[in-house]
Amino acid sequence: MNLSGAVGLAVMSAVVVAWGVSLVSGYDVVADVNPEHMNLGPASAHWLGTDHLGRDVAWRLVTASEVFVGPGLFACLLALLLGVPAGAWAGWVGGLGAELVRYVFTVIASLPRFVLVLLVCAIYGSSVWTLAAAAAVAYSPAIAEAVYSRIATFRGREFVLAAEAHGVHWARILGWHLLWVNGKTLIARHALQLFAYFLLVETTLSYIGALEAGAGFGVPEPTPSWGNMIAFEWGVRHGNQWATWAPALAIWVVILGALLLADGLAEGDHA
Amino acid sequence: MPDGVVLRGLRVEGPQGVLVQGVDLDVLPGRIHVLVGASGSGKTLSARSLLGMVDARPGVTQATLEVTWGDQTWRPYEGLDLNSRRARAVAERRFRPLRGSILGYLPQDARRSLDPLWTVGRQLRAALALREQPHDDGPAAWLARAGFPQPERVEPLYPHELSGGMAQRASIALALARGSRFLLADEPTTGLDPTVQEAILQELLALRDQEGVGLLFITHDLRIVPRLADRLYVMHAGSLVEDLPGDQLDQLTSQPARALWQATARIAGGVLG
């Protein structure tokens, strides 16, 4: 594996570890409020210090993984379920059926993604799961189109023809040889990009939601999200500056990590 | 009924009109049937119609095809109004048991006909898994049968690591491992250098003589015909203009066949002095 892939894999592994730690830790976001410890700098008791309510920033950073890892994976799964079969089918049959399917996805893709997500949240509320579903729907055209063009390119290749002539069932050629053997890195790459996109959307909305309490966007306090952690500490005088910097850096590192891993996968891929 | 593939009255239509008309072909076991013709004369379409894999639309609109092996006979085009979409779906279903197990296919560009991300050994194992009658021989044995002196060194290779000749041998091994009784070879030696071409031809002759495989060999290279052909078909502009036994190749009568023959002789003469 190349350098960007290795770095990306390390970051994503760290995210998964943080998620696991958070799930088993039983850290209580409310019980941790302690006015005696507010605005402390980094120290051995609190690795990244505390925020202005005296809560441990490092623990909140780890706990915030719960609002994007699970829903992010759900978003990936949903987008793949929507995009991959449709794109694969269109690429395989071609013709009018393919045009029809691609048209539907083009209509979805023509809406700006973020606006689509905001719209869904405004109507259906802003639980992270709704957010994940909206991001998945908004992202599925990109996946469908990528799978479509990959399958359509391979459809006419000699090895597909040869497999047909050898009596391999078409479903096996499409599902196994094209989608799995020759398409899995492409699909994984798009799933990672969606994961990065979902983290961006979730933290952005949580940030806006925490600044504008009436907007009702994103993850509400006291549940930590890297977005609302930044907003919550924004403008606190004589505060612990790590309480804003740490989540901001975490967003940057994880998005970069997901995209680097996607790039790393792209290198070995071909069409 | 004797074993063999019998095609009568083939007619293939494309969007702009008739592409192939009135073609009769036989492929018999232990025989090499050579189909020659200029590019675009309908050779490939005729061969693909034997597999039900004509891409053109409307496609095969008339044909009687009878494939016999052992006590089984298939008539995949029988009783179908081949102009309808439904009929094509029915034909597709009827062709499925034939493809691979009875009728195999040797592609022109063998390297591109192998799954690019699978090793040769893995593709052979997949072909073996598709066989109706399981066989004890592993991938190496089939590679050896296709003329690889050290098959175990070829097994772990990916298609892009093979030379053109090796890829063609691997395709032959694949068709054999799949258990095909008849092979449709679509210009299998085009693009190979003469020494490799010669080796592949030897391999195909060995298939005929040792395994009793029936071959339909498509080419536009008349020079190899005398060594190979038990029967010669010549196509021109979508129809069959010549159908001769292999020992009467000097009796080409039709104008297109003679023109092709003379051009071949001139090129060979020019090169060899």
Q: What's the confidence (pLDDT) of residue A221?
A: 80
pLDDT at B20: 92
> Average pLDDT of B56-81?
87
Instruction: Specify whether the CB–CB gap between B197 and B148 falls below 8 A.
Output: no
Q: Which residues of B touch A166 (CB under 8 A)?
A: 99-100, 104-105, 127, 130, 174-175, 178, 180
Nearest Cα of chain B lies from the Cα of A174 at a distance, in angstroms, of 12
Where is B80: in which H helix or E strand? none
pLDDT, position A51: 83
Residue B272, pLDDT > 60, answer no
pLDDT of residue B270: 62
A45 pLDDT above the threshold of 90:
no
Any domain includes A23:
no
A97/A185 same-domain check: yes
Please indicate, yes or no, if residue A222 is contained in any of the structural domains.
yes
A245 and A171 inside one domain: no
What's the number of domains chain A is made of?
Answer: 2
Residue A57's pLDDT band, with cuts at 50, 70 and 90, is confident
Q: Are residues A85 and A107 located together in one domain of the fold?
A: yes
Rounded to an integer, the average pLDDT of B222-230 is 85
- A235 and A137 inside one domain: no
Q: Is the pLDDT of residue A174 over 70?
A: yes
Residue A1: band (very low, low, confident or very high) from pLDDT cuts 50, 70, 90: low
Closest residue in chain A to residue B57, using alpha carbons only: A95
Largest CA distance in chain B: 57
A77 lies in the same domain as A181 = yes
**Average pLDDT in chain A:** 88
Confidence of residue B135 (pLDDT cuts 50, 70, 90): confident
Cα A47 to Cα A41, A246, B164: the distances in Å are 8, 11, 62
> Do A231 and A208 belong to one domain?
yes
Q: Quick check: A236 pLDDT over 90?
A: no
pLDDT-derived band at B273, boundaries 50, 70, 90: very low
Complex ipTM more than 0.85, yes or no: no
β-bridge mates for residue B35, sequence order = B218, B233
Closest partner residue to A164 (CB to CB) among B53, B97, B101 is B53
**pTM flag (> 0.80):** no
- Beta-bridge partner residues of B65: B7
Q: What range does the domain containing A170 cover? A: 70-191
Q: Per-residue pLDDT averaged across A159-185, rounded?
A: 88
Same domain, A85 and A180: yes
Contact B146, B127 (CB under 8 A): no
First to last CA, chain B: 50
Domains of chain B: 4-102+180-272 (3.40.50.300), 111-179 (no CATH)
- Where does a domain end: A140, A168, A191? A191
Final residue before a domain boundary, out of A136, A158, A191: A191
Around Cβ B35, how many Cβ atoms within 10 Å? 28
Cα distances from A265 to residues A174, A186, A187, in angstroms, run 21, 8, 10
Cross-chain residue pair B112–A157, CB shorter than 8 Å: yes
Higher pLDDT, A121 or A197: A197
Q: Which of A98, A76, A84 is nearest to A144 (CA)?
A: A84
* Cis bond before residue B107 (omega within 30° of 0): no
Q: Which of B115, B124, B131 to mutate to test the interface with A (most CBs of A within 10 A)?
A: B115
What is the average pLDDT value for chain B, to the nearest integer? 87
Helix or strand run (H / E) with residue B9: strand B4-14
Mean pLDDT value across residues B114-141: 89
Q: What is the distance in angstroms between the Cα of B263 and the nearest Cα belonging to chain A? A: 30
A59 and A149 in a single domain? The answer is no
Q: Is the pLDDT assigned to residue B30 strictly greater than 80?
A: yes
Length of chain A as a residue count: 271
Q: Are residues A89 and A179 in the same domain?
A: yes
- Same domain (yes/no): A153, A51: no
Domain-ending residue, one of A156, A171, A191: A191
Residues A86 and A169 in one domain: yes
Question: For the residues A37-65, what does the mean pLDDT come to?
Answer: 84
Tell whether A261 is covered by a domain: yes
Mean pLDDT to the nearest integer, A183-210: 92
B250-267 pLDDT, tens digit per residue, is: 788 888 888 888 887 787
